[in-house]
Amino acid sequence: MKKLPLSLLFALLTVLHVAAPPTSAAQQPKLDIKFFLGFSETTYVAMLETGRERNSFASYQIGFGPRLSKNKAFVEVLFSFNRWLYEGVNPDLGGVETQVNSFELPFLAGYIPYKNPYFKLFLYGGYVNHFNTKIILRREEQPSLRLKPKADNLAIYQALARFGVNVDLAMFNFDLNYSISLNSATTTSYRTGYHQIQLNLGYIF
């Protein structure tokens, strides 16, 4: 009679051992795909001889990309479409609304200080390739004008440094980041700094 419980215990331990995932499974890289959209504030700082002149504009972005994580480290490569606009008065064109279209290719890497099945915290930094592609001027009662960035003294390419924090809450991602230009944002003789703060909401697949 004593052998039956021991045999059952042995069988149970065998089943648990076979059913349990191998230790190496937890060490395998995890790939997520993120889709996101958000709003941002873009500030241009013209460094004139008379001092610094700041102009801030509302903007928004939408994008996607893969994120690969393993243990406490992760890397992320994104693609995003960005647009900012402002209204003003041009002496030659009258009242105009200016829209600037651009896209970005961020390469990011960082550290995961805390995670559980429902919550993850990510701290990161990285390099962003920013390309201004088109300027659209919408005039009062006139056809729109489509111009190249250099028509408004905007640099076509900008190198940006980005630092941020994002959180996974179940399948949702919340991201807050700050970017600063490493080169001039304009083609003018004076340097123009570029600063942007983004707040994004994403969905993780």
pLDDT tens for 59-94 read 999 999 999 999 999 999 999 999 988 765 454 555
Q: What is the pLDDT of residue 1?
A: 45
Hey, which residues does 47 pair with through a beta bridge? Answer: 52
CA distances from 77 to 21, 32, 74, 86, 181 (A): 30, 11, 10, 30, 19
Task: Write down the pTM of the prediction.
Answer: 0.81
| Token pair for 143 | 């056809």
Q: Is 52 exposed, middle or buried (0-12, 13-18, 19+ CB in 10 A)?
A: exposed
pLDDT tens for 139-151 read 777 788 898 998 8
Domain annotation for the chain: domains and CATH numbers: 30-204 (2.40.160.20)
Between CA 145 and CA 26 the distance in angstroms is 55
